[in-house]
């Protein structure tokens, strides 16, 4: 299986999935320090710096079809320590960009049938609608 890692951070999901035998086809991370860590541990993986332009970046050249998208998008706007702007916030609101990528054909020659088969999303306790008894 092939996966695309959005909001890749330092590659926690990526490392776990690689150890399960999956292949990371691309990583998207805005922070340059975290991207340098990704480069150190995943030198062969294509990288991009902005989730908002992921589809254009991915489709700019031939790339493999993606089976899974994994993402742990920013939680600052839903955090109890934050201002509680929710999904309308500038950081946690990037969820909508994530949803756009998940819904897009993610291969240069992709048809609707080549959309990712699955997505693994991680978000903190403050997300509206999240059950309170889930840890």
Active-site positions? 75
Q: Report how far residue 88's alpha carbon sits from residue 106's, in angstroms, rounded to the nearest whole number.
A: 26
Residue length of the chain: 135
Q: Report how far residue 16's alpha carbon sits from residue 9's, in angstroms, rounded to the nearest whole number.
A: 13
Q: Report how far residue 17's alpha carbon sits from residue 120's, in angstroms, rounded to the nearest whole number.
A: 11
Q: Report how far residue 75's alpha carbon sits from residue 65's, in angstroms, rounded to the nearest whole number.
A: 28
What is the maximum span of the chain, computed from C-alpha positions, in angstroms? 44
């Amino acid at each position: 299986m092939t996966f695309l890692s959005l909001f890749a951070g330092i590659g926690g999901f990526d490392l776990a999935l690689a150890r399960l035998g999956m292949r990371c086809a691309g990583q998207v991370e805005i922070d340059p320090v975290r991207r340098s860590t990704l480069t150190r541990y995943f030198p062969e993986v294509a990288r991009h710096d902005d989730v908002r332009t992921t589809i254009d970046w991915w489709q700019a050249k031939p790339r493999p079809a993606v089976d899974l998208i994994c993402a742990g998008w920013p939680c600052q706007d839903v955090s109890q320590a934050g201002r509680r702007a929710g999904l309308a916030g500038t950081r946690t609101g990037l969820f909508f960009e994530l949803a756009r990528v998940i819904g897009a054909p993610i291969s240069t020659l992709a048809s609707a049938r080549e959309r990712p088969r699955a997505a693994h999303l991680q978000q903190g306790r403050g997300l509206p609608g999240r059950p309170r008894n889930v840890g």
